[in-house]
Amino acid sequence: MGADDRTYGHIQSLRLPKKFDNTPRGFAFIEFTTASDARNAMESLKHTHLLGRHLVLEWAEEEDGGGALEKMRGRVREEVQAGEVGRMMGFNLASGGRVADILGDNE
């Protein structure tokens, strides 16, 4: 991150999610090495504009020990059972495919 890294604190990790076509989704996840570095960056950048757009900064929510992941898996399982995800992925449940086969579960 160069000069910005020294200005706002030390970055431990940076993730830029991309769409299926490999274009950026328009947001990033940044983890700082210390909470004070994160607070400093948040305070310093909260009124910043980048390429004509106002940066929207939000604190990440605390992880709840895997509950969110289980909730997401349940939602995907429901969509697969409804046929939506399976069709998008090219699976045909009508021809004998199982939800577990699509999700990679050993149910």
Domain boundaries, the chain: 3-54, 67-103
What class is the 3-54 domain?
A: alpha beta
Nearest Cα to 30, choosing from 51, 55, 66? 55
β-sheet bridge partners, residue 30: 14
| pLDDT single digits (tens) 28-55 | 889 999 999 999 999 999 889 988 888 8
Mean pLDDT of the region 70-76: 77
Q: What is this structure's pTM?
A: 0.51
d(CA 32, CA 12): 5
